Amino acid sequence: MRFSLPREVLLKPLAQVVNVVERRQTLPVLANLLVSVKDDRLSMTGTDLEVEMTARADVADSQPGDITIPARKLFEIVRALPDGSQVTLSLNNERITLQAGRSRFTLATLPANEFPAIEDLDVIERIQLPEAGLKELIERTAFAMAQQDVRYYLNGLLLDLREDSLRCVATDGHRLALCETSVPTGAQTRKQIIVPRKGVLELQRLLEGGDRTIEIELGRNHLRVRRADVTFTSKLIDGRFPDYEAVIPIGADKELRIDRELLRASLQRAAILSNEKYRGVKLELSPGQLKIVAHNPEQEEAQEEVEAQTQVENLAVGFNVTYLMDALSALKGETVLINLRDANSSALVREADSDASRHVVMPLRL
């Protein structure tokens, strides 16, 4: 096996796949990348048995073959080479030699047949959408995923595929984030899958936005996302996601309309004096005004008064300020709507001119 290509062309696919490789492995071969060359096309695959990433690039002066190479060492060497270097890798006697100018490195390898392959995908649905669409769905929801929750099905992101739309939903039991986009080629029947946290974070890192079309394949146990230069595969969480639609408040008739950036800045200032453990702030609504109050055990207090469009009188609700700020950061519009029912009910936070992205924040007793 042999191939040659510029450092910059090699570094991009390497960076995409090396993140999947765990620093601690159960099998030695999992520390390696599977490197294959065929018909002047290079493919590199990394896996941790849960998530698999394959990146591709065109090469010159190539001889076909495949081998596994230590992932982090290869990445660090290529990253440390000077810009504009021409990199040549060749396999001799089960050692891989990397040459670039006057630099020469020899690395140990393991046979390609030891590398684990994720089983073939039993595709039950296939959809296409712009890369920017999927990127936005994940960015607006992934922050609300649980971390190491005993309810393992919350440690991931729900993809809810409907006849003409795709929804992403995440919740940790204290807040919920939902975002949807239209999909012309939707599902024949409604499908729900849960992608684990690591898969979501790798996918978020991989997606670049833009109008390129990507293909999503849903299997019984796997999700696969295909782009011209990369194929991403993740196992799914085998569990039942809670009925998230039941969590979205209905009949929350008390409405607050406010400038998003103004509210976010006010919450940020008030948060400085909030209780470090509970991060609580109280929102006090009165006609034309919102008052934000925070206390801490040292008897310190923050008060912010903000102009707002509301007719609500004498309503005070406590919230975790971090959850509110996260929701506001995930929204895009200048103006946000906050719908409330009473002091013990969740808040529904969304953009004033769009229903595509919705956030629910549970109240906090203060």
Q: Could you identify the residue written with the tokens 């924040």?
A: 361
Sheet strands (E) in 154-221: 156-161, 165-171, 175-182, 191-196, 213-219
Structure tokens at 312: 């609500």
Using an 8 Å Cβ cutoff, are 184 and 192 in contact?
no
Question: Which H or E element spans position 134?
Answer: helix 131-139
pLDDT digits (tens, 9 = 90+) for 255-313: 999 999 999 999 999 999 999 999 999 999 999 999 999 999 999 999 999 999 999 99
Going by C-alpha positions, the residue among 343, 326, 366 that lies closest to residue 144 is: 326
Residue 283 has a pLDDT of 97
What is the C-alpha separation between 205 and 189, in angstroms, rounded?
Answer: 30
Enumerate domains of the chain plus CATH numbers. 2-114 (3.10.150.10), 123-245 (3.10.150.10), 248-361 (3.10.150.10)
Q: Is residue 251's pLDDT more than 90?
A: no
Going by C-alpha positions, the residue among 110, 105, 116 that lies closest to residue 51 is: 116
**Spacing of C-alpha 188 from chain mean position:** 26
Structure tokens at 273: 């004096």
Q: Is residue 209's pLDDT more than 80?
A: yes
Q: Is residue 253's pLDDT more than 90?
A: yes
Q: Is residue 186's pLDDT more than 80?
A: no
Write the single-letter amino acid at 199. Answer: G
Residue 188 has a pLDDT of 79
Going by C-alpha positions, the residue among 95, 109, 62, 78 that lies closest to residue 10 is: 78
Going by C-alpha positions, the residue among 147, 114, 111, 175 that lies closest to residue 327 is: 175
Beta-carbon contacts of residue 337 (< 8 Å; ≥ 6 apart) = 255, 256, 257, 348, 349, 350, 351, 352
pLDDT digits (tens, 9 = 90+) for 102-111: 999 999 999 9
Quick one: three-class SS letters along 203-231? Answer: HHHHCCCCCCEEEEEEECCEEEEEECCEE
Considering just the CA atoms, what is the radius of gyration of the chain in Å?
A: 25
Residue 60 has a pLDDT of 86
